[in-house]
Structure 1
Amino acid sequence: MVRLILILLGVDFLRSHWRGLRRFGAFTLLAGTVIFIDALDGVLYFPIEPFALLLLIEGGATLLVAGSGIGGQKRLRYVKGAAFVISALLILAGNHEGDLVLSLLFGTLFLADGALQIASAIVVRYPNWRLALVGGVVEVLIAVFFYQPWPTHYQGVVPYCLGLGLAFTGWNLILLARRAKRAKRNPAMDDPAAQAGIPGAPLITQWEGPPAADEPALTVHVWTPAGTAAGGARQRPVISRYIAAVDEQGVISTGHAALASPEGVYISLYPAQEIDRSPDEFGRLLRATKENNVAGRFLSDYASEAAQWCPSTRQVRIRNYSPARLERFWRRYRQDNTYNLTHRNCSSSVAKGLEAALEGCVGRLWQRKGFWIAFGKLMTTPELWVALQIRKRGQTMAWTPGLVLDYARALSMLADPRPTGWINTARRALTRIWRRRKGMRVVS
């Protein structure tokens, strides 16, 4: 969380407000701790019913306007709205069964995430895997806490979750303030072009949709594993989407990812010699250790890569980025041509390049509104939390083309924000209806 927020808001933008950020983090940590402890004795002082009503109103309103979203934003609104409504109804039910279902739901989520993190740490052995292993164990212990009825017989599940969420968020904000205070000056902010982003962008804070086909934009190209399997991929939806696809002959296809900018930067990393991806060798190659490092090669441009292989199956385009920052990253990154299937591959290269290009993009976009408006906009955007989870998976497992695709889509909603919030969405919908009716009257 700390690293991604630092990237999106920018070092300079955060440094000037690190004291206020630290105070807010301390208050949030204290509030979360108090709410969690309050729930332990079985006597709840936290206003659970009003909180559930707020969830129900927000979830219902989100579902009503979800259809006006665009692409991934629409799906995310439906998921958010449904989750809020179901949780609110279970809380308002006010019986043991509702509390039990919520406890089992949250416990299962923590258990699945912790078990996945433990397994990936043991198998992949990426840098700092032991720390991630400890984090996975902590998540499993939290799951056990939710599963067992002590001490409140499941009645405190909502305050537990809210308290844990606030406490972890507050702790991360304190760490963010500490890093912002000590971080070096962001060199990208020295460049006027980097501060302004793309010409014409600073005066705009929201766009109605993705960039037009003829509009200059940073482009993430993704060749999905299923779309590039030579002999037709076997039907394994989640595995084929995020890990690898297996064709009828048993050959594994992991897909590919690349990043292209209108200024001529093209990041596309391949192994210099094709890696044996047969099932017998694939397990050994999953280790992110030095013995699996091989020589790599960077391709020159998208047109030649598409001509030699095939066009990318998915593209994500972003307007608001820093060409200077991306160029600076690319000059440094291409000096090392090492390739590692799980630690330094095509997808991890694109993810790092994308983060470099978007450094400070949210801060530049909302700086005229003030720090707390910019910070609030970022923290209340659902795509931030989606991007955080995807980034966690990419760092604790391995970056894959499927993860990069979802990560780029989430970051595109932060860098090129679409109108959000059900009040604003409803107001825009009513405005469109009024304009259409007015136009119909003029025609008649």
Structure 2
Amino acid sequence: MMRLTMILLGVDFLRSHWRGLRHFGWITLIAGIVIFIDALDGSLFFPIEPFACLLLFEGGATLMVAHSGMGGQRILRYVKGSVFSAAALLILAGQHDGNFVLAMIFGMLFLFDGALQIASAVVVRYRRWRPALWGGIIEIALAIFFFQPWPSHYSGTVPYCLGLGLAFAGWNMFILANRVKRAAVNPGLKGAVYMEEADVPEVVEWDGPPADDETALTVHVWTPAGSAPSETIPRPVISRYIAAVDRNGVISTGHAALESPGGIYISLYPAELIDQSPDEFARLLRATPENNVPGRFQPDYATESAKWCPSTRKVRIRNYSEERLKAFWESYRQNESYNLTYRNCSSSVARALEAALEGSVGRLWHKRGFWMAMGKLMSTPELWVALQIRKRAQTMAWTPGLVLDYARALSMLADPRPTGWFNTTSRALKKMLQRRVAWGKGKSGEETAED
């Protein structure tokens, strides 16, 4: 969370408000601890029913306007509204059953995430895998805490989660304040050269993705299923995020590349085909230097697509910095090594994308004040989606499917769509009016034809 927030808002933007961040972090941390401790004895001072009503209102309102979203934004709104509404109804159901169901759900989430993090740390051995291993152990301990009834017989489930969420958020905010106070450059860039800010966009929200003739950064993704030589065997999750297998047994893992209007094209391949036999594959998964092999960068999209096939998915982003991307590329291209886990085509695109979007959200909202920018970022569901994708990718490996979802989430942050209740409701009513007018015209046309 801290690193992605630093990248999107920009270190220069955050540094001038590090004291406010630290104070807010302390307040949030203390509030989370107080709420958690309050729930331990089963006698709650926390207003759980009003909180559930607010949650239900938020979920219902989100569902009402969800259809006005575009693409992935619409899906996220439906998911958010459904989750909020279901959680609120379980809380309002009261008694033992609702709290028990919520406790089991939260426990399973912590258990699954912790087990996955431990397995990834042991197998991949990425940088800082030991702290991640301990983090997974803590998550499993929290899962056990939710599963067993002590000390409140599940009545404190919601305050536990809320308290933990506030405490972790406050702690992260405190660490973020300390980091931006000391940071010289944004972590999206490598090197201490100060880059001039890109032109600040005149608008802060757009109605949709960039048009085909509009200048924009492009993330190309060849999905495993879309780039397979023949029809693939249906395996939805595996085919999207890992690899697809066609009817002839040919494995396709897909590919990812990044292209900018300034002529930068980042597409990394291994110079020679990597042996993916079962005996060697487990060893190759480790993100260690001995698994580095020579790599090569493709010259441009036209050459690559002509040799292979056009990309199956594209994500285009207006609000980016060509200068920062160029600074990253000049440094990154000096090393042409390839590693199956931590330096592959997808990880290269993810790093380049973060460098290009450095400070993008801060540039959009800085005129409206720091807390407006921070609130806008934190209240956008795509941020939390991007955080989870980034966490999964860094603890396992970046794949074309993960890069596709990550780029889509970041595009909604860098090129935000209208999300406020007033704007969203206005757009929804406008769509309803347009459909009503179209329906009326169609009906009058039918009556004229009958006459």
Q: TM-score range by the shorter chain?
A: over 0.9
* CA drift at 1:3: 0.3
- Once the two structures are superposed, residues 402-440 of structure 1 have per-residue CA deviations (whole angstroms, 9 ceiling, x without a partner) of 100000000000000001133431123335556888999
Aligned to 2:69: 69
> Counterpart amino acid of 1:71?
G
In structure 2, what is the Cα distance between the partners aligned to 1:34 and 1:157?
A: 15
* Equivalent-residue separation in structure 1 for 2:392 and 2:68 (angstroms): 30
Q: Is the 8 A contact 1:252 1:278 kept in 2?
A: no
Change (3 A) 1:384 1:189: farther
Report the equivalent of 1:371. Answer: 370
CA contact (8 A) 1:285 1:292 kept: yes
Give the alignment's Cα RMSD to 1 decimal. 2.0
Q: Secondary structure at the match of 1:295?
A: strand
Deviations 1:289-309 (A, max 9, x none): 222110000001111100100
Q: Distance in 1 between matches of 2:401 and 2:18?
A: 35
Pair 189,428 (structure 1): closer, same or farther in 2 beyond 3 Å: farther
* Aligned-partner residue type, residue 354 of structure 1: L
Match of 1:290 in 2: 289
Residues 29-74 of structure 1, C-alpha deviations (whole Å, 9 max, x = no match):
0000000000001100000000000000000010010000000000
2:42 corresponds to which residue? 42
| Within-5 A mapping of 1:3-402 | 3-185=3-185, 191-192=195-196, 194-197=197-200, 202-402=201-401
* Residue 244 to residue 438, structure 1, CA distance change in 2 (3 Å): closer
Does 2-11 or 246-255 show the bigger shift?
246-255
- Measured against aligned partners, the alpha-carbon deviations of 1:194-248 in whole angstroms (never above 9, x if no partner) come to 3425xxxx21000000000111100000111122233433222111111122334
Unaligned runs of 5+ in 2: 445-451
Q: Determine the C-alpha separation between the residues in 1 that align with 2:180 and 2:418.
A: 29
User: CA, structure 1 residues 185+255, in 2 after alignment: closer, same or farther (shift >3 Å)?
Assistant: closer
- Name whichever of 80-89 and 423-432 sits farther off: 423-432
- CA distance in 2 between counterparts of 1:363 and 1:410 reads 17
How far residue 288 of structure 1 moved from its aligned partner, in angstroms, is 1.3
Distance 2:282 2:348 in 1: 22
How far apart are 1:277 and its partner, in Å?
Answer: 2.6
Following TM superposition, by how much is the alpha carbon of 1:276 offset from its aligned partner in structure 2, in angstroms?
2.2
Question: Could you say what secondary structure the match of 2:39 adopts?
Answer: helix
Cα offsets for 1:4-29 (capped at 9, x unmatched): 00000000000000000100010000
Q: CA deviation at 1:380?
A: 0.5
Preserved CA contact (<8 Å) 1:316 1:405 = yes
Aligned to 2:447: none
Q: Is the 8 A contact 2:184 2:192 kept in 1?
A: no
TM-score, scaled to structure 2 = 0.93
Cα distance in 1, alignment partners of residues 112 and 225 from structure 2: 25
- Matched letter for residue 317 of structure 2: I
Counterpart amino acid of 2:121?
A
- Residues 320-379 of structure 1, C-alpha deviations (whole Å, 9 max, x = no match): 000000000000000000100011000000000000000000000011111110010001
Give % identity.
71
Query: Deviations 1:166-209 (Å, cap 9, x if unpaired)?
Result: 000000000110011000045899555x3425xxxx21000000
Residue 270 of structure 1: how far off its partner (Å)? 0.1
8 Å Cα contact 2:117-2:395 kept in structure 1: yes
1:416 corresponding residue in structure 2: 415
* SS of structure 2 residue aligned to 1:196: coil
Distance 1:231 1:123, change over 3 A: farther
Question: 1:29 is paired with a residue of what secondary structure?
Answer: helix
- Describe the shift of the 1:399–1:21 C-alpha distance in structure 2 as closer, same or farther (beyond 3 A): same
The CA distance in 2 between the partners of 1:148 and 1:275, in whole Å, is: 47
* Contact 2:219 2:256 (C-alpha < 8 Å) held by counterparts: yes
- TM-score scaled by length of structure 1: 0.95
CA deviation after TM superposition for structure 1 residue 286, in Å: 1.2
Q: Deviations over 1:69-120 (max 9, x none)?
A: 0000000000000000000000000121111100000110111111111111
Check the 8 A contact 1:188/1:324 in 2, yes or no.
Answer: no
**Distance change in 2, residues 1:227/1:441 (3 Å):** closer
Aligned mates of 1:440, 1:273 — CA distance in 2? 60
Cα separation, 1, equivalents of 2:358 and 2:424: 28
Unpaired runs of at least 5, structure 1: none
* Inter-partner Cα distance in structure 1 for 2:349 and 2:84: 34
SS in 1 for 2:219: strand
Question: Which AA in structure 2 matches 1:254?
Answer: T
Does the aligned pair in 2 maintain the 1:52–1:88 contact within 8 Å? yes
| Amino acid aligned to 2:31 | A
The count of aligned residue pairs is: 438
* Alpha-carbon distance between aligned partners in 1 of 2:438 and 2:254, rounded to the nearest angstrom: 49
* TM-aligned CA distance change 1:441 to 1:227, over 3 Å: closer
